[in-house]
Structures are given as C-alpha cells and as structure tokens.
Chain A
C-alpha cells in the first residue's frame, strides 16, 4: 500500500524566512510525485510533478526536489500570499491512475 507522510503539520514563517517542507513516501514503483497547493475553501491546485530521483522543478519562490525516499518543497523568501496548505501525493505502479495524498503542511507566512 502506498503511503505518504508530510512534515511538519504546520509551519509559521516570517516574510522572507526561507524553509522546506518534507514529504516522505513508500510506493511500489513510483510513477510520479505531485505537489499541490490548497487555499481555504478551494480545491487543490497543481504545482509540480517529479518523476525520478534527482529531478528538480521550480516555480517562482518554490522549488521541488526528489530522492528515492522523499521530496522537499523549498520556499525561498516567502510572501504572505504563499500561505496555504501544501499537499504531496504519489502515484505508484500498483495503482495505475490513483494518487495517494499526504495530510498536508499548513504554511502561514506572517508579514
């Protein structure tokens, strides 16, 4: 069974204070690791897909990295508008079309 664990559960940062969110996973044959952002009252919004260890993707102040056991979402010089819940999900080889989600990290960036 695919499993995803995210840490920390919640993170409070001052504006400009860089940090990283962790996503540890166990999966049978990784097809892809996904990062989503979820704002209150809305559905998750796609950020990145990573397919193999060593891969990195960047978008504005966010950079996602992947190893064989975990993924990091690095946030550089965050702004208050980056406040959201960040969800990690994996798609394994045994679940052809399903994503298994972690419980998320709730990020708050204070001005």
Chain B
C-alpha cells in the first residue's frame, strides 16, 4: 500500500484566496483525521470522520474551515478565505478500528 497520500505537498497562496487540501487514506481504513501542526501549538486535531461521516469537528478553528469526505478514498479540507495565521503543516491520517494511526507526509501551507 502507498500509505496516506496528501496533495499538494506545498501550497503558497495570498490572503483571501481559497485553499483546498486533499487526502487519500489507506484502503480499508474507516477512520480519517485532519491535523494541523505549528511550532506554537504542536499537533492539533481539526476534525475526524468514521465511515465517511464527520464525527467531531470541534477542533475546526473557524467557519472558514470546512472538510468533506464524499467517499471512502477521498477527503478534502478547505479554507475560504485563507489568512496568514492559517500557515501551518496540515496532516491527514487514517486508521482501521482500534489500530495505529498512519500519517501522510503533510501539506505545507503558506498564506502571504
């Protein structure tokens, strides 16, 4: 298996623009997580899905953030409009029930 695949690896955009991050989880995994990592706050859980259904989005910082999982093999995290304070590394992770968590390589987002 190729592991959790995220795209793009790097994204540079200007404040106010829409940003879409993409994730393909490991086949057969029924949980998908979106994390954000910064130097100041470390790894923070934004939202997670179980069987494509959002379970807990309490970590989503603002209404500017939204996430979808239209099917078992694809998820998106969208920021609209983006702001400089959204600059961070965004990780997608997946796991099967009661199994260990596998992370993707992350998307480095820079909002100018």
Contacts and interface: CB of A to CB of B under 8 A. Distances in A.
A97 B50 contact: yes
Interface string A74-111: 00000000000001010000000111111110000000
Contacts of A98: 33, 45, 48, 56
State the main secondary structure of chain A at its contact with B. loop
A100 B102 CA distance: 15
B105 A46 contact: no
Contacts of A104: 42
B94 to A, nearest CB: 11
A101 B42 contact: yes
A41 B105 contact: yes
A54 interface: no
Contacts of A89: 43
B100 to A, nearest CB: 5
Interface string B29-66: 00101000000001101001010000110000000000
B93 interface: yes
B25 interface: no
Interface string A49-75: 100000000000000000000000000
Contacts of B56: 97-98
Given A42-B105, A43-B104, A44-B103, A97 B48 contact: yes
Among B31, B55, B101, B103, which residue has the most Cβ atoms of chain A within 10 A?
A: B101
Contacts of B31: 97
A101 B35 CA distance: 11
Contacts of B100: 34, 46, 49
A83 to B, nearest CB: 18
Interface string B80-112: 000000000001010000001111111000000
B21 interface: no
Interface of A: 34, 41-46, 49, 87, 89, 97-104
Given A43-B103, A43-B104, A97-B56, 6 more contacts: A41-B105, A43-B93, A45-B103, A97-B31, A101-B42, A102-B42
